[in-house]
């Protein structure tokens, strides 16, 4: 089967962003006079839930059951998440979070070979725009044909919804695509959508269960990138 498209996850795949997310959550909590602080070990546990708003609710239910929920709890969580996203996009705009090594080479090689590119992510759309503009300026709009992100689908990863949404938008069969992910949730989502999914690990995900991955790479160093091309059947020269 020919590979006509590569669909990229964002957080942990295009760039190591989760540390910046974690710090942004904590800044939002502080500014909201909440004594919550997500340290790295706790954040690692909370990452099992995708989506910032869903993660905050999971934290309250699981770790803060005595928290007096405000009357309009959903609005409270939404506003807290808006504050967090402002901090996060400011961190991105300050150029603090570069793309992971060789991701741009993979994107450039694929583009040159006529392979279509898209994004399927759980993160909020403004986060994707801020990261891509930081890296490519407005040029990103010509690089990624479709961007599926955040609340655009009813169920976030590990549900397949976001990948299915991207496939439909691109009018593509799953068999003609590959996905690049970093997490167990992302792998489950891609596989459930019928897409051959590759994993690059990072500090938050390297101990997760990647059963079903087409291949697992610690990073996309040159030899790993060539290996990915070969396993994926990408005839990129």
3-state secondary structure of 165: helix
Looking at the Cβ atoms of 49 and 236, the one nearer to ligand XBP is 49
21 binds, among ligand XBP, Mg ion, none (CB under 5 to 8 A by kind): ligand XBP
157 binds, among ligand XBP, Mg ion, none (CB under 5 to 8 A by kind): ligand XBP
How far apart CA 152 and CA 165 sit, in angstroms, is 9
Number of residues interacting with Mg ion: please give it, by CB under 5 A: 6
Q: 5, 8, 9, 201: which one contacts Mg ion (CB under 5 A)?
A: 9
123 binds, among Mg ion, ligand XBP, none (CB under 5 to 8 A by kind): ligand XBP
Q: Is 198 exposed, middle or buried (0-12, 13-18, 19+ CB in 10 A)?
A: buried
How far apart CA 139 and CA 121 sit, in angstroms, is 19
Pick from 73, 65, 11: nearest CA to 81: 73
11 is a contact residue toward ligand XBP (CB under 6 A)? yes
How far apart CA 198 and CA 177 sit, in angstroms, is 11
Q: 26, 127, 205, 208: which one contacts ligand XBP (CB under 6 A)?
A: 127
Q: Name residue, tokens 């990408």.
A: 234
Q: Are 12 and 183 in contact (CB under 8 A)?
A: yes
Q: Which stretch binds Mg ion (CB under 5 A): 2-10, 50-58, 97-105, 132-140?
A: 2-10
> 155-194 mask for Mg ion (x: CB under 5 A)?
---------------------------xx--x--------
202 is a contact residue toward ligand XBP (CB under 6 A)? no
Cβ partners under 8 Å of residue 34, min gap 6: 80
Please state, as a whole number, how many other Cβ atoms lie within 10 Å of the Cβ of residue 132.
Answer: 23
Annotated catalytic residue 151: no
161 is a contact residue toward ligand XBP (CB under 6 A)? no
**Residues 12-51 within binding reach of ligand XBP (CB under 6 A):** 12, 18, 21, 50-51
51 binds, among Mg ion, ligand XBP, none (CB under 5 to 8 A by kind): ligand XBP
Annotated catalytic residue 75: no
Asked if omega into 158 is within 30° of 0 (cis), the reply is yes
- Which is it for strands 146-149 and 116-121: parallel, antiparallel or unpaired? parallel
Q: Name residue, tokens 């500090």.
A: 203
Which residue numbers are catalytic? 9, 11
The residue ranges that bind ligand XBP (CB under 6 A) are: 9-12, 18, 21, 50-52, 85, 121-124, 127, 157, 183, 186
């Amino acid at each position: 089967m020919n590979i006509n498209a590569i669909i990229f996850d964002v957080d942990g795949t295009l760039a190591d962003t989760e540390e910046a997310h974690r710090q942004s959550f904590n800044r939002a909590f502080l500014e909201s006079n909440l004594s919550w602080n997500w340290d790295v070990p706790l954040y690692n546990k909370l990452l099992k839930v995708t989506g910032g708003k869903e993660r905050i609710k999971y934290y309250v239910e699981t770790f803060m059951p005595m928290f007096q929920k405000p009357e309009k709890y959903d609005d409270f969580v939404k506003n807290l998440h808006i504050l967090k996203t402002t901090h996060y996009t400011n961190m991105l705009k300050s150029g603090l979070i570069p793309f992971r090594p060789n991701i741009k080479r993979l994107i450039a090689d694929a583009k040159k070979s006529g392979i279509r590119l898209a994004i399927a992510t759980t993160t909020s759309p403004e986060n994707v725009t801020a990261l891509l503009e930081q890296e490519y300026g407005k040029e990103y709009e010509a690089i990624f044909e479709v961007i599926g992100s955040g609340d655009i689908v009813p169920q976030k990863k590990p549900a397949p919804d976001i990948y299915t949404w991207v496939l439909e938008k691109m009018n593509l069969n799953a068999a003609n695509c590959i996905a690049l992910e970093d997490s167990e949730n992302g792998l489950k989502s891609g596989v459930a959508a019928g897409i051959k999914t590759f994993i690059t690990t990072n500090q938050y995900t390297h101990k997760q269960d990647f059963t079903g991955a087409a291949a697992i790479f610690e990073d996309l160093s040159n030899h790993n990138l060539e290996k990915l091309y070969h396993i994926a059947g990408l005839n990129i020269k």
